[in-house]
Amino acid sequence: MLVPIFAAISSIFIYQLNGKKEVLKLDLVQFFYAFILSPVLFVWLKSIIYVLLRSEMRITLNPSQLFLVDTAFSTIFLYIFAFVVMHSLTKSFSLKRGHDPLYDVFRHSEYFHLWITHLVIHLGILLVFNLVALINIFVPFELEITRAVFRVSAGSGVLGGILLFTSMWLSDPNQQKANYMRVIKLAAGILFLSNVVGYFIFDVPFAPQYSFYWWNSFALAAFVSLSLFAYKSERAQNLFERVTSRLKHHKWDFRTQLFE
């Protein structure tokens, strides 16, 4: 029960720094509320609910019922957290506007829209997929599927890699002094290397129990191959631009430069 008390004390103490410092162009206090305090309270509340349901109730819940309660709580909290983040962002805008009446709110919002969110979301997707794949090396899945189905599902990782690359290419903000795709390609290359190293160290067999590892490896291989191909060949870049231009909305190229 000390967790919410310390959380409340820290939130009151840090409130005096409102409008004084920034982290990732978010006001420090708002960053603290959204990205430190909220996750801590989320984990704490989940642990409290788990303890109450497992040991403090006269009725014993089976794993499916526990999962249902946890999912319901997590969904409700995610809605609340979404509004906390929106409040933190708009409060940061308000504080900046209070200090400078000529402050460009649009430019500030585009920093989050075109840069921070694109990087975090796409790097997060790659990291989460790769984490599950590396866990799969040590924790084989108990899947009862035929060899043919396994091969098709693993091979579909190539399509997944192509779709991931296309999605990230579409989201490239094309900032003159900050290369988004270079960061994405570097991250994908490092993650692909971790899969290759894992294969040689642990001698991962090509079997259904390791299906997610192989799916992720094929996806990253396709992603890295497309990255190298698009980076080396100007003709390939033009081809990607022609293909993806059909998928972009008509005002996508109207973007402010954030790093002038």
Q: Which residue blocks in the chain are alpha helix, DSSP H? A: 2-14, 28-32, 38-55, 63-99, 105-110, 117-138, 147-170, 180-202, 211-232, 234-245
22 phi/psi in degrees, rounded to 5: -130, 150
Other C-beta atoms closer than 10 Å to the C-beta of 64 total 7
Tens digit of each residue's pLDDT, the chain (260 residues): 788 888 888 888 888 888 888 988 899 999 999 999 999 999 999 999 988 888 777 778 888 988 999 999 999 999 999 999 999 999 999 999 888 888 889 888 988 988 899 999 999 999 999 999 999 999 998 888 888 999 999 999 999 999 999 888 888 888 887 889 889 999 999 999 999 999 999 999 999 999 999 999 999 999 999 888 877 667 777 777 777 777 766 666 667 788 76
What region does 25 belong to: left with phi over 0, alpha with psi -120 to 50, or beta? left
- Those residues whose C-beta lies under 8 Å from the C-beta of residue 46, and which sit 6 or more positions away, are 70, 73, 74
Identity at 45, one-letter amino acid code: L
CB 210 within 8 A of CB 137: yes
Using DSSP, state whether 120 is helix, strand or coil.
helix
Look up residue 175 and give its DSSP letter: B
The pTM of the full predicted model, rounded to 2 decimals, is 0.82
- Those residues whose C-beta lies under 8 Å from the C-beta of residue 88, and which sit 6 or more positions away, are 26, 27, 30, 31, 33, 34
3-state secondary structure 177-222: CECHHHHHHHHHHHHHHHHHHHHHHHCCCCCHHHHHHHHHHHHHHH
Look up residue 23 and give its DSSP letter: E
